Amino acid sequence: MTTFTAINLIKRPTGGPINASLFEVVKKEMPTVEPGQILVKQNYMSLDPAMFGWMSPDTNSYIPPVALGEVMRSSGIGEVIVSNHPDFTVGDRVMGMMGWQEYCLSDGKGLNKVTASLPDQGILSVFALPGLTATQGLFNVGKPKKGETLIVTGAAGSVGSIVGQLAKAEGLRVIGVVGNQEKADWIVNELGFDAAINYKSNDLDAQLAVAAPNGIDLFFENTGGPIQHLIFDRINAHGRVVVCGLIADYDNEVPELSPSWMNIIKRRITIQGFTMPDHFHQVPELLEKLTPYVLAGKIKHRAHVLEGLTSAIEGLNLFSEGENKGKLIVKI
């Protein structure tokens, strides 16, 4: 094989579903591996909501947008097939930012060797961005305390499902907000959440009252959307809101209605946004925190696997449609 497939971003999304016109699928020549470099064959890559941010032009964002004409950014897992680098040998299993392409030439920076015995899909579901994000957001931002009540939106998603399970393991009451009955059943029956609420129901406030009889201490916000305001009204004094993602807003220019600002004062609420690129230097300690829960069997996961590199394009819409069942992964 002398060429491989890659997908470049050529246009920025302007709202509405993601489609093929934003990308070009190109053939690239297999590169020469210079001294200090490795060539990785990527086996699986991760699709993440953060990609909507990476495609957007916002200059004040936490990470520069993907430049037009360049390979779309993503994390993935693969195998070193050529090494001219002293720290890597052929056959090493590595994880890191490899982009939407079949092969990745790298100087090794930002690639980490994978030693855990989970299969590739499990690694991307638990130990990659979602698990790190859940661990950072729950423990370091949210500061959960045993006996508190946590509510997490996008609860069947890659981050939300781990947040809820970690919180359960810590002794919190955990409520998950999801978009359909299948997800509700999964988080309660399989993951052990105390309650699930379908945000498409008509009696949301009554359901919240039943699910959170003692109010809400910690709100892990992954999605945005109208239920946010009902949740805010039930946040207890000294409540914390961890703002991790707002899927519902990604293709929506209309600002959300706010929580009651008076409540922010009266209940001394803290709202904190965070993104993982600020915390990449903490990855070793985050993994150290997360791993015991995984080894103890406390973190179940499921992957929603799409087939083939180009399936990534339309696959992104599964986030805004809420149709992904578990961690979205592309098998290359």
Interface with its own copies includes 144 (CB under 8 A)? no
Question: How far apart are alpha carbons 7 and 19 in whole angstroms?
Answer: 13
Question: How far apart are alpha carbons 81 and 186 in whole angstroms?
Answer: 39
Q: Rule CB under 8 A: which of 239-258 touch its own copies?
A: 243-246, 249-250, 255-258
Interface with its own copies includes 329 (CB under 8 A)? no
Contacts of 23 (CB under 8 A, 6+ apart): 7, 8, 9, 10, 11, 72, 313
Among 268, 285, 295, 308, binds its own copies (CB under 8 A): 268
Short-list 275, 207, 268, CA closest to 245? 275
* 275: Cα separation from own chain's centroid: 10
Interface with its own copies includes 16 (CB under 8 A)? no
Interface with its own copies includes 60 (CB under 8 A)? yes
In the complex with its own copies, which residue's Cβ is closer, 168 or 240? 240
Q: Rule CB under 8 A: which of 203-232 touch its own copies?
A: 224
Question: How far apart are alpha carbons 12 and 8 in whole angstroms?
Answer: 11
Question: How far apart are alpha carbons 166 and 1 in whole angstroms?
Answer: 44
Smallest separation (angstroms) from its own copies to the CB of 81? 36
Interface with its own copies includes 58 (CB under 8 A)? yes
Q: Specify the stretch interacting with its own copies by CB under 8 A; choose among 21-29, 157-165, 265-273, 291-299.
A: 265-273
Provide the β-strand partners of residue 220: 152, 242
Interface with its own copies includes 267 (CB under 8 A)? yes
What DSSP element (H or E) covers 20?
Answer: none
In the complex with its own copies, which residue's Cβ is closer, 209 or 257? 257
Interface with its own copies includes 270 (CB under 8 A)? yes
Which stretches of the chain bind its own copies, using CB under 8 A? 53, 58, 60-62, 224, 236-237, 243-246, 249-250, 255-275, 278
